[in-house]
Structure formats: structure tokens, C-alpha cells
Amino acid sequence: MNPTYEPSDLESRWYSVWEQAGVFRPEINPDGEPYCIVIPPPNVTGVLHMGHALDMSIQDAIIRRKRMQGYQALWLPGTDHAGIATQNVVERQLANEGLTRHDLGREQFVDQVWAWKAASGNRITEQMRMLGFSTDWTRERFTLDEGLSRAVRRVFVSLYDEGLIYRGNRIINWCPRCHTALSDIEVEYEDEVGELSYLRYPFVDGDGHVTVATTRPETMLGDTAVAVHPDDSRFADAIGRMVRLPLMDREIPVVGDDAVDPEFGTGAVKVTPAHDPLDFEIAERHDLPAVKVIDTEAKITRAGGEFFGQDRFEAREAIRYELERQGFLEKVEDHHHSVGHCSRCGTVVEPMLSLQWFVKVGPLVVPAIEAVRDGSTRFTPQRWEKNYLHWMENLRDWCISRQLWWGHQIPAWYCDACSETMVAVDEPTICTACGGTVLTREEDVLDTWFSSALWPFSTLGWPDETVDLATFYPTSVLVTAFDIITFWVSRMMMMGIHFMDDVPFRDVAIHGLVRSEDGRKMSKSLGNALDPLELVERYGADAVRLALVQSAAPGHDVPMKEEWIDAARRFGNKVWNAVRFATEHLGVKDVPVSGAYPEHPEPEDAWILGRLAEVGAEFDRLFDDYRFSDAYGLLYNFAWSEVFDWYIEMAKPRMKTGRGAASARQTLGVVLRDLLEYFHPAIPHLTEELWFHLSGDELLATAPWPEPPLGDIPTSMATFQDLVGGIRRFRSEYQIGPRVPLDATIVDGTGEAPQWWIDQMDALVGADASFGESPASPSGYRHLISGPVEVFIPIADLIDVPAEQARLAKTIDEAEEQLTRSQKKLGNESFRERAPEDVVRKEEAKVSELETTLAKLHAQRAELG
């Protein structure tokens, strides 16, 4: 066994051993209960970032533990075709050659994206291997693969036939840069200071005017009405009259509509049905025409008269200028409002009337809400249920068409002769209405989230009735960050319940986002992003994984710093050294694969075995509640401060020929074995390697999960640790080297202090201990007390007492002087008034620190006599 732990040596080696042994396949436990996680598919264009590393480290920990517990554990991997993102990558490549996708045409362009995918699209899955994730690669899926594409078409056709998918003119969010519609959640709102322009629309039939307020004066070109609240007395006379639209010389009515907020602006609003969702609804109620004045390039259309061809922001200025010149601009005020931006490119989104495909969500939402209310699907932490329910209760129809080429082309065909729409899984050849044979396919593709909404069942083989689908649906848990509840979780719930008649997952375990150590979002532009792959190179995958899992408190953001990964790596060293020490003393027979806990352990062994069982049970409880940071925090502390710092030190002198040598060896063997097992889900490579050295050739990855039996923990252990700690402190206070022997008299009032303390005090702190009586006076002794037990250590032989007394006296004088000075300062009114608060605080802290030090020094002086 190497004297040092070198992660890079062993990590890739073990990964291929596992993969070749079929460890990642559920078939390895053919008789187990099924347990399944489908991975949130990363974008095929993606590079593994810390967020993925956290999300997947948690999933791997869960699935590895279930596998060891004997479940048929499936963690199903795959990637998402990521519509806009992937199309952008290839379009950028083309741009370098001076080409656009239109130069290639649709078919050639899509071929080129597939070629890109074949060459570069497996980067992220390679990176997942580097981190040791145990996904079943034989079941890997891609949202655009043949099976999943068929599932998408089936779902589309089925929803269409049920009337849950329709095509219609609606106001959608349009990105003029990406040239596509966006769904509501692909729009990011930012608070901005804009300007509120007050425009006068004069009455046609006499004097006076109505003043309307707007932040987007350029849309006035498309106004087809003015609306006021029907109960607003200020406008009681106006409803039903006509006003003249300035600049356009068009007569438009004033209508009364409940949707108007009388508090906004003047209480009268302009109605632009083609460029505002609320106005669109008002127009439907009052049968108003819609005039499109902004086109897909965000330029003014021909309907905008003299402003035709101007960019929307340029037109805003020009129109305001013209209105002012002609006396229609009453005033302009600064105005705070939120402005929607494209989540991909940041361009200001243009609400626009457009013919698009929609999912009618109403009937799908109801059972998806019910399933969370009745506990069929549970969120951890539970507070995220509120977020989910709020979202679902306010969901509007989902715009699913995108004006892209990369994606699932909508399976709809239009008859050239009679305009009939046909929706079908397979391409129709003849019009069902007129028998025409010239059919044109819908050009749009589906929103990427449409295919990922089917992920939990499409990946298992749906619509075919496969064994996997029957075995693993509903899946057990979905692990994801909270920011994706709306995009994804909600939609999987709707589709899963609708098509499978059961929820897609029993549990949703929500974790936070990985942030930089100051709590900010990690980003390349801020330069504070940690790259998990660089960290793997520097510290090994296990260190990165352990640091992440240990920080993953449910639902909380995870501030991450490199130091923690370094600490995890140092912990790896510690485990390495512990096992290396053990292998020098233990034979393979001392480390059975499971069970074999010593039946008549010595007290030290009984203590560590009892603690192992307690910690193991608590670890399992925390893990099952998805409290990974608490679970691994507990285990980490147990390993470090109880097993390594105490137990191994106590076992050392006993293992060869000491008291209960066989019990010591057997105990050390099973404790280390169980520790490796508990740690395996978080740090699989290191534990597998150590397991190999410790116990021979069975794989740890498929070893049974430990179940140490609860036993009695000798109560004398806590007292003993307390006293040994006291002796250690005594040595360090007087700077007495660890090899300098010292005497210790143990005075035990109850007569319960066990004999084994004597040899352990020798082994641990070099104390020649014996049971005895208290000395006549404690002066000249270090006096330790723990519960009913006292220990006296004579000091005179260990140090030069007079010199120590002199040193103490000097130290005490100095400390007292400092204390007086500080107290005087604090007693001074003007200091307290003038000095900054933190300076006063510091001074106060200094006083209390000095008082504690002095108390200790005085006690020391007393014990020196």
C-alpha cells in the first residue's frame, strides 16, 4: 500500500472496474426492491459546473447507498438537446465562416448540429465519469433520440386530440434578437427607471380630451381604444365617445372595462391589443381590432405610417418629440417599473400578438396540485411546496412553439388547398378534409421543456410498455435546485400524472445553489467561479464531492471555498493513514465483509462499537431525511475525533499481545470497515481502494450496508476522556514534553473507575497512574476533577518550581497592569463618548479576557504552592 494518498492514481482505475463489473446497472441486485432516480439532464452544450457537481454528488450518494442496501438501484443518465443554446453554438460557428443558417437551409443546418453533437456533445458525460458518478450508461438517453422523439409526438397528438393543445393568436414574449417566442418563465424582470408619458387624446365630438399615461409611447401607433374603469366617476361621460388618435388621425372609442386600474396614471389607459397581454384581453371583450405596429425585428411596421422602419427605441423618442411638437404631450415623469428581458441574451422582450401553439394548462394543473396537497409527492424541505402550489395556481397557458430549427418539429401539417390542420404521429399524405395531397409541415419546434416534461417516463420506454417502465415508474426521488421547480418540476408533474396516471416521483429533494464564499452567485464574469474539473485535478474527485455533500443542507445555498475541498482532501489522508496502520496489524480474516461484531469486547472496544451503532443509526435517519450535510458532518466528526484520535490510539498498544488483543483487532477491523461503507456513497474511490487493501477482493460498491448492533456504552469513557484531556492540557501549559514521564494518583470516591484506565493513561498520555488517596494539601499538585473522580499530579519533579513561580509572578504583574490601564480607559467618560463603538467593544473584550487569564494564573500559582 502506498504511503501516501494519491487520488489521481486510483480514481479512474476504480471507475472502469465498477463499470466493467456492471455495478451501475440495477440488474446487479435482481431481487431487490426498485429504486430509481432520473438525472436532471444537463444541456448537451454544457460543461460541468459546481451546480451540476453538487446536484449529481447528492444523487450519486443516494443511489450508491440504496445499491448497498440491496435495492435494484437505477440512476438514469441523459442530456437535453437545449434548443436555443445548441442552435446558437452552431450558428456562431457558421458566423465565423460568414454564413447564417439560412444559407444552409433547414435540413443541412440540422445535420450540422447533429455533427456537432457527435463530435462535442459528450463532453459533459465524460466529465461526469471523472467525478465518479454511478449512472447506468447502458440506459443513457437524449431528448432528441428516436424513442424520446416518438414519445414527444405521441404526447403532442394526444393532447391536441383532447383539446389541451391549440394554436391561436395570443400575446407572447418575443425576443427580437433570438427571433423566437419565449414562455413566461424564460423572461427575467428587472426593475428600471423609465419614463411615464402623459398623452392627450382629444374628443372627436367637441372640446376636451382624455389623458392616458404610458411607458411605451411608441405603441400608441397601434392603439384601437382608450379604456377606463366603468365605475370611475371622472370618466362617466367619456365612455362610449370617440377620441382622435394623434399622429395617426384615427378615431377610436373610449370603453369601460373592469380590468383597468383607476389608480394607475390618470385612470385612463390606451389599448394596444397587438402589444400588451392585458390590452389583448380588453380587446377581446370589446371586439376591438388589433394593429401590429412592431415587427419581429423590433422595428415599426408599415401600419406605423411615417415611423415605418424605425427601431422601437428610436421611434419612442421620435414619437414623443412629435407629440410634444403638436401639443399632445402633457408631461413626462420618471417612473419605476419592471422590464422583461430575454433570459438567454438580455434583450428587452417585446410582447407581441403572434400565432403560436399553446398547452391549455387548466385541466392538467388540477391533479398536479392535488398530488402535492395529498402527499403523493412530497417536497423536502416542505416549505417549497408553497412555492410550487403558488406557481401552479397562477399558471397561464404555456406557449410551446419556438421559431428555431433545432428541436422537435411540431407534428402538424397544413393543407395547401383548404388550410385544414392535421396533427399526427406519422406524416400524413392526404388531407382528411378535401383529399388534397400538398401538405406543408409546421416549421416551429417545441419548447425544450416540452420534451423534458416527459423525462421520467419517456426515458423508461414510454409509450411502449417496457419492463423498465413497469419497474421504475414512479421514480423514487427527484434531486434538483429550487430555481427549476417552475420550469421543470411543475411540468413533469402535469405530464406524468396525465399520461401515467401516477406522479413522476415520490419525493422532490430541493437543494440550494453553489455560491462563492461571500454568498454571491458564481459567474465567469465576476471571476469567482470555481471549476470543479480543475479542483478534481488538484484535490481529487472525492475531496470535491465530500466538500459539496457536507455543505448540502436541504434548500440552503451552499457557499463554497477551495479551503473546504483542501480540508476534505486532508481528511482523505487521515483515513488513508488509519487504514494503512490497520493493514499492518490486521489480517484479511479480521475484516469480514459484513456482521461479525465482537461478542465480548473489552471496555474500549465496547465504547467505540456502541458509538458506531449510535452514529450509524443517526446517520441513516439524517440521510433518509435528505439531510446530507448533517449526516456526513456527524460521520466526519465521529471518524476524526473518536475513531482516529481516540480509539486507534487506545487499540495500538493492545493489538499484538496486550489485553484483549483479538477483541482490539476485530473491533478495529469492523469499525474501519463500517466507516468505509458509510463514507462510500460520498467518497467512492478512496473507500473502494482502502477496502481492497483491508479486506481483499470483493467490491465495496456492492457490499451490504452496515447495521452495527446497538450495545452498552461504558459510562466511564466520558470521565476518562475528560481526565486524559486534562493531563494533555497540563503538559502543554508547562511545556512538558510527551516523553517526560509523570505520576498520577487516581482518587475514586465511588470505586467505579476501571482498571483499564491504568494502562490507557500510560499509552495515551505517558502517565504512570495508580489508585490512591488525596494528598493532605492540593498545593504542589495539578488537581483534575471529573464527576466523582479526581487526579493529582505532583509538579515538583517535572519543572523548576522557583523559576516557574518567578515567571508566573512577572506574568501576573504585567496582566494586572494592563487590566488597570484598560479599566481606567473604560471608566473615562470622554473615551466612551468619543471613541467609535467597535473600539470600545474591543477594549471591553480585552478586559474580560485579561480577567480570565488572571484567574488561571492565580490558580496555577496556588497549585505551585
Would you call 782 helix, strand, or coil by DSSP? strand
Closer CB to Zn ion, 418 or 855, in the complex: 418
Among the listed residues 297, 420, 649, 804, the single contact to Zn ion using CB under 5 A: 420
Stretch of residues binding Zn ion (CB under 5 A), selected from 412-420, 591-599, 706-714, 747-755: 412-420
Under a CB-based contact definition with an 8 Å cutoff, are residues 793 and 744 in contact?
yes
Q: Which is nearer to Zn ion, 422 or 840 (CB)?
A: 422
DSSP state, 683? S
Cβ closer to Zn ion: 45 or 476?
45
Tell me the pairing of strands 250-256 and 242-245: antiparallel
Cα 23–Cα 24–Cα 26 angle in degrees, nearest 5: 95
Per-position DSSP letters for 500-551, written without gaps between them: HSS-SEEEEEEE--EE-TTSPBP-TTTT----HHHHHHHH-HHHHHHHHHHH
- For residue 259, state whether it binds Zn ion (rule: CB under 5 A): no
Residue type, 712: D
Cβ atoms of 760 and 750 within 8 Å: the answer is no
Nearer to Zn ion, 117 or 341 (CB): 341
For 386, phi then psi, to 5°, come to: -60, -45
CA 538 to chain centroid, in Å, comes to 23
- What's the farthest any 2 CA atoms get from each other in the chain? 117
CA separation for the pair 314, 300 (Å, rounded): 10
C-alpha torsion sign, points 471, 477, 481, 482: positive
Shortest separation between residue 353's beta carbon and Zn ion, angstroms: 19
| Minimum CB–partner distance for residue 705 and Zn ion (Å) | 49
Instruction: State the SS3 of 433-462.
Output: CCCCCCEEECCCEECHHHHHCCHHHHCCCC
Which is nearer to Zn ion, 355 or 434 (by Cβ)?
434
Please report how close the Cβ of residue 157 comes to Zn ion at its closest, in angstroms. Answer: 19
For the bound state, the minimum distance from the C-beta of residue 86 to Zn ion, rounded and expressed in Å, comes to 15
Among 177, 441, 585, 861, binds Zn ion (CB under 5 A): 177
437 vs 568: CA distance, rounded Å: 67
Among 431, 453, 547, 578, binds Zn ion (CB under 5 A): 431
**# chain residues binding Zn ion, by CB under 5 A:** 15
Q: What single-letter amino acid sits at 176?
A: P
Q: Does 722 bind Zn ion (CB under 5 A)?
A: no
Cis peptide before 463 (omega within 30 of 0): yes
Q: One-letter amino acid identity for 507?
A: D
Q: From residue 279, give the alpha-carbon distance in Å to each of 181, 260, 271, 283.
A: 19, 10, 5, 6
Cα–Cα distance between 303 and 521 in angstroms, integer?
44
Quote the least distance from Cβ 341 to Zn ion, whole Å: 8
Q: How far is the CB of 402 from Zn ion (least distance, A)?
A: 11
- The residues pairing with 446 across neighbouring beta strands, listed in sequence order, are 401
For Zn ion, the closer CB: 204 or 345: 345
Among the listed residues 115, 418, 467, 806, the single contact to Zn ion using CB under 5 A? 418
Window of 175-183, 225-233, 243-251, 332-340 that interacts with Zn ion by CB under 5 A: 175-183
User: What is residue 638's DSSP assignment?
Assistant: I
136 vs 186, beta carbon nearer Zn ion: 186
Residue with Cβ nearer Zn ion (11 or 186):
186
CB of 346: closest distance to Zn ion in angstroms? 7
Which of 245, 410, 415, 850 is close enough to bind Zn ion by CB under 5 A? Answer: 415
Comparison of 346 and 725: residue with beta carbon closer to Zn ion:
346
Cβ proximity to Zn ion: between 264 and 313 the closer is: 313
Smallest separation, CB 405 to Zn ion (Å): 16
Under the criterion CB under 5 A, does residue 238 sit at the interface with Zn ion? Answer: no
CA Rg value for the chain? 37
Candidate residues 355, 433, 845, 859; the one interacting with Zn ion per rule CB under 5 A:
433
Indicate the residue among 200 and 344 with the shorter CB distance to Zn ion. 344
Stretch that binds Zn ion, among 424-432, 603-611, 631-639, 677-685 (CB under 5 A): 424-432
Residue 153 in contact with residue 451, Cβ under 8 Å?
no
- Comparing CB distances to Zn ion, the nearer of 178 and 683 is 178
Q: How far is the CB of 167 from Zn ion (least distance, A)?
A: 16
Please identify which residue in 58, 178, 181, 769 interacts with Zn ion, judged by CB under 5 A: 178
Nearer to Zn ion, 129 or 344 (CB): 344
Query: Interface with Zn ion includes 434 (CB under 5 A)?
Result: yes
Q: How far is the CB of 241 from Zn ion (least distance, A)?
A: 42
Q: Up-side HSE of residue 708: CA atoms within 13 Å toward CB? A: 30
Nearer to Zn ion, 186 or 688 (CB): 186
Report the nearest approach of Zn ion to the CB of residue 415 (Å): 3
Map the footprint of Zn ion across residues 556-615, applying CB under 5 A.
none
Segment contacting Zn ion by CB under 5 A, of 176-184, 547-555, 623-631, 790-798: 176-184
Least distance to Zn ion from the beta carbon of 94, Å?
18
- The reply on whether position 181 binds Zn ion by CB under 5 A is no
Binding test (CB under 5 A) with Zn ion, winner from 175, 221, 615, 682: 175
Q: 342 or 453: whose CB is closer to Zn ion?
A: 342
Report the residue number, 345 or 806, with the smaller CB distance to Zn ion. 345
CB of 345 or CB of 366, closer to Zn ion: 345
C-alpha cell at 205: 365630438
Q: Which stretch binds Zn ion (CB under 5 A): 20-28, 410-418, 618-626, 770-778?
A: 410-418
Q: What gap in Å lies between CA 522 and CA 530, rounded to an integer? A: 8
Instruction: Find the part of the chain contacting Zn ion (CB under 5 A) among 10-18, 101-109, 168-176, 641-649.
Output: 168-176
Segment interacting with Zn ion, rule: CB under 5 A, options 217-225, 394-402, 425-433, 477-485: 425-433
Q: With respect to Zn ion, which residue has the nearer C-beta, 226 or 298?
A: 298
- The Cα–Cα gap between 353 and 208 comes to 32
Task: Specify whether the CB–CB gap between 473 and 347 falls below 8 A.
Answer: no
Are 731 and 738 within 8 A, CB to CB?
Answer: yes
Question: Quick check: 187 binds Zn ion (CB under 5 A)?
Answer: no
Local structure of residue 197 (DSSP, 8 states): E
User: How many whole angstroms from its chain centre is CA 403?
Assistant: 31
Q: What does the CA dihedral 748, 752, 755, 760 come to, rounded to 10 degrees?
A: -70
Tell how strand 781-786 and strand 789-794 pair up: antiparallel
Which residues have a Cβ under 8 Å from the Cβ of 486 and sit 6 or more positions away? 185, 391
| Angstrom distances, CA of residue 332 to CA of 202, 214, 329 | 18, 10, 8
Considering only the stretches 337-345, 382-390, 698-706, 747-755, report the one whose residues sit in contact with Zn ion under the rule CB under 5 A.
337-345
CB under 5 A: which stretch of 115-123, 128-136, 167-175, 569-577 binds Zn ion?
A: 167-175
The residue behind cell 408619458 is 197
Q: Which of residues 339-358 bind Zn ion (CB under 5 A)?
A: 342, 344-345, 347
DSSP letter string, 469-504: HHHHPSEEEEEEEGGGIIIIIHHHHHHHHHHHSS-S
Confirm if 202 and 243 have CB atoms less than 8 A apart: yes
| Residue 417 binding Zn ion, by CB under 5 A | yes
Which range binds Zn ion by CB under 5 A, 153-161, 243-251, 335-343, 601-609?
335-343
797 Cβ neighbours under 8 A, 6+ residues apart: 743
List the end-to-end C-alpha distance of the chain, in Å, as a whole number.
53
Query: What's the min distance (Å) between Cβ of 344 and Zn ion?
Result: 5
Binding site for Zn ion (CB under 5 A): 175, 177-178, 342, 344-345, 347, 415, 417-418, 420, 431, 433-434, 436
